[in-house]
Structure 1
Amino acid sequence: MASPAISQTVRPLDTLRLGILGPPQITSVVAQHLRLLGAQDDVAGQQDAPGAITLTGGGYESAQATVTWGGSGSGLVDEATVQAATGVMAVHGRRDGHPRGLAADYTATATGVLAVQGLLAGLIGQSRGTAAAHVSTGADRAGLLAVSQYLAAAGADEGEAAQLGPGGPPFTSAEGVLFELETLDPGAWAAFWRALDAPADAMRAGWRPFQFRYATACAPLPQALHTVTRAHPLARIRQAAALSGAEVCVLHTLADRLAEADGAAPWSLRPYGADGPLPSSRAASGNPVPPTVGLPLAGLTVLEAGRRIQAPLAAHLLGLLGAEVVRIEPPGGDPLRGMPPACAGISARWLALNRGKKAVEIDIKAEADRRRLREMAAEADVFLHNWAPGKAAGLGLDSDDLARVNPALVYAYTGGWADRIADAPMGTDFMVQARTGVGEAVRPEGEAPVPSLMTLLDVLGGLHGAEAVLAGLLLRERTGRGVRVDSSLLGAADTLTAPALARAARGGNPRRPAGFRHPLPTADGWIAPTDDSALAAAAYDLRELSTPDALARLGSHGLTATAVTTDLSDLHHDPRFAGSISRDAHGAPAVSDPWSFA
C-alpha cells in the first residue's frame, strides 16, 4: 500500500486511535509511549481480549498487538514469576549471593516497549507494501532478552573472565553517604585509590572484578577498599576522583528525581529539512519490498557504530525485524569480540548482541575513511551510534553532516543523559542508576538503596533506542523526510521508575514494602510466589521440602508460585520456555525473537 501521509504530520502516530486492554504493568507503558508518539485514545475502540492493543486510522489497516506474561501452561502470571523463571532474579541477586527480585517491574516495562516496537514495525511494513501483521510478545521473552548476554556466557566453551561472587559498589563515605565510582581506565582506578592511601594489593585485586562487573553482574571487591572509603569524608573522595580522572556520583533518591524531573519523553524526534523540498534519496520511499516478504524492515540498511550494549542491542533488534545491519568497527575489529568467555573463539556476550550483522572496518580518525562512511550513509536508511557526546560533530559525522548526503536518513543517537541534567556524571549504566533513584526503586523499603549490577539501563536503553528508530522510520514514511532521533539511559531510567515516581507524586511511599519479591528457600533451591501470594506464602517454612513439594504445598493452600532459575544453563531445558532458546552457528546460546508476527 502507499505510505499514508498527512501534510501536518509532526508525530509518527498523528491521526491514529488507540484501543488498549491488558495487564496494567505492561499496558501502561504501551499507552504512555503510543500517546507520546501521537496516538489518541479511542474509547469506542477499547479491546475485549486481555492484552489486546489496537491502532486504527491514519489510512492504515488496523495494527494489533497482544501482550502476555508467559506461554500457556507456563505458570508465569505476573512480574515476580517472570523474573524468577527467566533468570532475572538469579542475575540481579549475584551481588547478594542468592536470587532476589527487582522491586521495579522490569520485565513488564521491557515488554511494553517491545509491544510498541512491534506496532511501529507493523505500520512501517504496511507503508512499504507488506501485509498488515498482528504482533505478539510477552514478558517471558523480554526477560530472556534481558539476560541473553549472561545466558550466552553460561553456555560458553570457557569460564568467566572474572570471579563470580557476592559484593560490589556502592561505596560509603565517612559520613555514611553512599556513592558510585566509575572509570574505564585502569590508570585512573589506581590513581584514585592511591590518593586515598588504599593498600596496593587491594587496589590491584579490585580492578578486574570492577572492570568486568558489566559482564558478570557482581564485583567481589576486596573489603579493604570499602574500609578505605569509610575512613574519608565525601569531600576528600571527590577530590581524589577529580585528581585521578575517575568520577563519583552520590546515590540520589526517588524524591530527588521527582523534584528535578522535566516531564520529557524518553526519546526525541526532530525531522530535518521541513522547509525545503522533499528529499530525492533512494531512502525516501523506504525501499518498497514485495508483499510476500514477512519481516517489516526487509530491504532497509542500518549502519551501526556502537560500543558495549546500548547501541548494539538497538541495532540487533532492528536486524531481527528484517533490516540488514552493518557494524562500523575500528581497524582490527571490535576488541569486544575477544572478551571471554568465548564460543568457537568469539565472545559469547558479543554474539548475543551482534550475531548476523555484517562488519566493515573504518578508521574514523582518517579523513579518507570518514568520506567512505559518508558514502555508505548516503545509501543507508539508518545511522545509529553511541559515541561520546560531541564526538560525531567533531568528526563531521553528526546529523546535519549526514543529512547533506542523505536527507532521508534516520540518524539515531543513543546516549547517557540527552543533555537534560546539567551536572551529570559519566553516562554509564551504573552512574545513571545512581543519579536517578533506580537504586531505591529496585530495593524494597527498609533496605539501603543499591543500583543493580545487572545492566538494567543498558538493556532498557537499547530497547528505547530501537523504539526511537522505528518511530523515526514511520515518521519518514509519512512525511518523506529524514529524522534525527535521540534516546538515552536517562529516558530508560525514567520509564522504569515512572510507577514509583507516580506514587511519590501522590504523596505515597515510592518504594515497595519490606521483603517485596524476596524468593523463599527450599531444600534444593528457591521458589518465588506471585506478588499477590507473597505475604501468605512467607508464613510457611519450606526449607525442608523439595522445590516441587514446596510448590505443591503452597498450591494446596491456593497460593501461586514458580521455581526460581538459579543456573542460567538450565534454561535450555526448562519446559516453561520450550523452543525459546537455541544455539547459533558458533554454538552460543541464543534466545528467540521477542515478537511473533502473524
Structure 2
Amino acid sequence: MASPATTQTVRPLDTLRFDASGPPQITSVVTDHLRLLGARPDRPVHVDAPAVGTTLAGGGFAPAHAAATWADPASGLADEATVQAATGLMAVHGRRDGTPRGLAVDYAATATAVLAVQGLLANLVGQARGAAPARVTTGADRAGLLAVSQYLAAAGADEGEAAEIAAGGPPFTSADGIVFELETLDPGAWAAFWKALEAPADALRTGWRPFQFRYATACAPLPAALHTTARSHGWDRIRRAAAASGAEVCALRSLVDRAAEHDGAAPWSLTPSTARAAASSGSVRPAGAVGGLPAPPAAGARRESAGPLAGLTVLEAGRRIQAPLAAHLLGLLGADVIRIEPPGGDPLRGMPPACSGISARWLALNRGKRAVEIDIKAEADRGRLRDMAAHADVFLHNWAPGKAAALGLDADDLARVNPALVHAYTSGWADRLDDAPMGTDFMVQARTGVGEAARPDGEPPAPSLMTLLDVLGGLLGAEAVLAGLLLRERTGRGVRVDSSLLGAADTLTGPALRRAARGQNPRRPAGFRYPLATADGWIAPADADARAAAGHDLRGLPTAEALSRLREHGLTATAVTTELSDLHHDPRFAGSIGRDAHGAPAVPDPWSFV
C-alpha cells in the first residue's frame, strides 16, 4: 500500500510510470491526462491495438490496470460511428434536424478515455486506503449509454415530455450574417429581448417553453417568426437588446479562433491546501453521521457498495447536470453522496416526465444519493453546512462564480474547519476567458468552436442541443475529484479542485484545434458520419467503411437486409437506434439496461472492477 504522506508529491501521479496501447481516439486522451497528472510513459505509446490497455506502476502502489474497448465484439460495434449509432447518440444529437446525425467529434471515445483514467485513479485511491488492487474495464458502449442516460430515462417514463420533440432550434442569424446563440434562464428576460426586437407577441410566448426545455429534449421547435425577427436586425442592435433585457448572446466562434487563443491549460487544476491534515481519510466520520445529522432516505434504490471510494463522504451542492453527474459517478465508485438541496427540496425533482412521481431525468443523475435541505441564505444553515463539511471528504458545487466565497463556503473557508477536504468547483469557464458569456453548455459550445467541430465541413456551424459539454464536464469533474483525493492521500493535505465546461470543450475538440494550429482544415470532411437511409430505418457504417458503404443504394431494403448486403462486401455497419425506449430490448446491450426502484430506466455502471 502506498504511503498517504509522500511529501515530495506535487501532482497525484508523480513518480508513477505508465504504458498504454489502443485506438488513438481513446489512447491519446488517456495518455494526455496521465501526463498532466504527473505520470511518465515507460515506453512509446502503441496505437494499433484493438483495445486500450493502460498500466500505472510506481510510487509504492501495486500496478493498476485499465482496459477499454469499443464494445463486446459480439455486438458488432467496432468504432466511434457504430457506437454513436447504437447507443442513441446519433438519435439525440439529430433531434434538432429531424433525422439521426453523427457527431463529427469523437465524443464516445473521449468519454471512454476519461472513464478509464477515473478507474485508474479510483484504483489507486482504494489502494492508498487499504483496498486490494483491481483491474478496471470500461467500454465506449457504456460511455455512450451514460451520455444519453437522461434522455433514455425520459423515454421510459410514465408520462410524456415537458415540451414537444420536433426539429428546430437555435442558433439564430442576424441581418449581417452573424450566427449566434441566445441564453437566459429568466422568462422575463426572454420576453424583454424579443419585445425589444419587435417580435410578434404570440411567437415569443409560444417560443419560451421549447427554448426553456431544450436542455431536456435536445431540440427546440421555435416559431419561425423568431428566426425571421433575428434576421431582420443587425448584430449591434441584437447585442443592445440583449444587454437591456438581461439575456445574453454569443456569436459562434470558429475552431481557428479558438486555436489562436488557446492557452494550453489542463482541463482541471489541483491546488493543495496550505493547511495540513495528519490523517486525511481517518478523520472522516462513518457515512450516516455527517455533522451529527441522521441519515435521511436516499432517492431511489441505494446499494451497499464495496467500491474503491467506500467509506468516503461527498457533499454535493449541484444543479442541472455537470456537478450532479460528477457526484453520481463518485457514488457509483462507492462514496456516500449527500445532496444539499434548498428548503422544500430540489425543484427539478418535479420536472416532467416522471416515474412514480419523481422526475425520470432527475433520477438518472441523483438516484442513490441522500438529501439534506439547507437554506444557504441563512447563517444558521450555512453553519450546519460547515459542520457537515468538517466531517466530509469532498465538497462539490457548481454555483455561480463568486457565490461560494460570498457565502463563506469557498475552499479557504472550509479548509479552516477541515484541512483534509477536497473542495471541488465545476464551473463554466474557470476564469480563463475575460470576455466569457454565461457559462452554460450551449454558450460554451458557441464560444469555443464546438458548434463548428460537431458538424462536418460544408455545413453551417450549430451547437448540438444535446448537452455535450455538461455531460463531459461532469465526467471531467469526477476525474478531477479523484485526482484530488489521490493527491490528498499522498500528501496529507486537502486540495482545491477546479474543472469547467471550457476544459470539456477543449478536450473534445483537441484534435481539431491541433489541426487548426498546423494550418489545416480543422473540420471533418463533408458527409462525415452521415447515416444511410434504409426502407424502414437507418444504418451507420464504420468510419473506415463509410465511403464504400455510400456506394450501395440501400433505400429499398429493410435494415436487416441492408446490413447483410454490406457485410457480404466485408463492410462493418450497425443499425441506428432511433427510439431510445428500444434500447431495453436491443441485443447489442443484452442485460445492460435495468430499472431503478421508481421504475426509471437505469444504465449500467460505466466500469467493472475485478
* CA shift in 2, pair 1:320/1:434, >3 Å: same
Q: Is the 8 A contact 1:179 1:249 kept in 2?
A: yes
Residue type at the aligned position of 2:421: L
Q: Is the 8 A contact 2:2 2:61 kept in 1?
A: no
Whether 2:357 is the aligned partner of 1:345: answer: yes
Distance in 2 between residues matched to 1:389 and 1:356, nearest whole Å: 28
For 2:299, the equivalent position in structure 1 comes to: none
Q: Is the 8 A contact 2:56 2:63 kept in 1?
A: yes
Shift of 1:279: 1.5
For 2:383, the equivalent position in structure 1 comes to: 371
Shift of 1:50: 3.8
Distance in 2 between residues matched to 1:294 and 1:371, nearest whole Å: 32
Shift of 1:4: 5.3
Whether 2:425 is the aligned partner of 1:420: answer: no
- Within-5 A mapping of 1:460-475: 460-475=472-487
For 1:201, the equivalent position in structure 2 comes to: 202
For 1:168, the equivalent position in structure 2 comes to: 169
> What is the alpha-carbon root mean square deviation over aligned residues?
1.6
Residue type at the aligned position of 2:120: L
Q: Is the 8 A contact 2:21 2:45 kept in 1?
A: no
For 1:124, the equivalent position in structure 2 comes to: 125
Distance in 1 between residues matched to 2:46 and 2:93, nearest whole Å: 37
3-state DSSP of counterpart to 1:596: strand
Distance in 2 between residues matched to 1:16 and 1:376, nearest whole Å: 34
**Structure 1 runs (4+) greater than 6 angstroms displaced:** 44-49, 285-289
Shift of 1:61: 0.3
Shift of 1:44: 7.9
For 2:605, the equivalent position in structure 1 comes to: 593
Whether 2:17 is the aligned partner of 1:21: answer: no
3-state DSSP of counterpart to 2:338: strand
For 1:36, the equivalent position in structure 2 comes to: 36
Q: Is the 8 A contact 1:530 1:560 kept in 2?
A: yes
For 1:550, the equivalent position in structure 2 comes to: 562
Shift of 1:443: 0.3
1:438 counterpart (450, 453, 457): 450
Q: Is the 8 A contact 1:92 1:102 kept in 2?
A: yes
Shift of 1:3: 2.9
Distance in 1 between residues matched to 2:84 and 2:264, nearest whole Å: 29
Residue type at the aligned position of 1:344: S
Shift of 1:284: 5.6
Shift of 1:46: 7.2
Alpha-carbon displacement from aligned partner over 1:289-324 (angstroms, at most 9, x marks no partner): 9xx974100000000000000000000000000000
3-state DSSP of counterpart to 1:533: helix
1:398 counterpart (398, 410, 414): 410
3-state DSSP of counterpart to 1:164: coil
In structure 1, list runs of 5 or more residues that go unmatched. Answer: none
Q: Is the 8 A contact 2:174 2:234 kept in 1?
A: yes
Pairs aligned (count): 593
Alpha-carbon displacement from aligned partner over 1:371-407 (angstroms, at most 9, x marks no partner): 0000000000000000000001000000000000000
3-state DSSP of counterpart to 2:142: helix
* CA shift in 2, pair 1:472/1:341, >3 Å: same
Q: Is the 8 A contact 1:4 1:58 kept in 2?
A: no
Residue type at the aligned position of 1:93: G
* CA shift in 2, pair 1:288/1:112, >3 Å: farther
* CA shift in 2, pair 1:286/1:112, >3 Å: farther
Shift of 1:283: 3.6
3-state DSSP of counterpart to 1:405: coil
Shift of 1:505: 1.7
Distance in 2 between residues matched to 1:563 and 1:409, nearest whole Å: 47
Distance in 1 between residues matched to 2:543 and 2:51, nearest whole Å: 20
Distance in 2 between residues matched to 1:221 and 1:502, nearest whole Å: 36
Shift of 1:23: 1.0
TM-score (norm 1): 0.97
TM-score (norm 2): 0.95
Distance in 2 between residues matched to 1:540 and 1:2, nearest whole Å: 58
Q: Is the 8 A contact 1:284 1:477 kept in 2?
A: no
Distance in 1 between residues matched to 2:285 and 2:59, nearest whole Å: 21
Shift of 1:92: 0.1
Identity of aligned residues (%): 78
For 1:507, the equivalent position in structure 2 comes to: 519
Q: Is the 8 A contact 1:281 1:406 kept in 2?
A: no
Shift of 1:287: 7.9
Shift of 1:35: 0.3
3-state DSSP of counterpart to 1:532: helix
Shift of 1:507: 2.0
* CA shift in 2, pair 1:288/1:124, >3 Å: farther
Residue type at the aligned position of 2:97: D
Distance in 2 between residues matched to 1:50 and 1:562, nearest whole Å: 19
For 1:75, the equivalent position in structure 2 comes to: 76
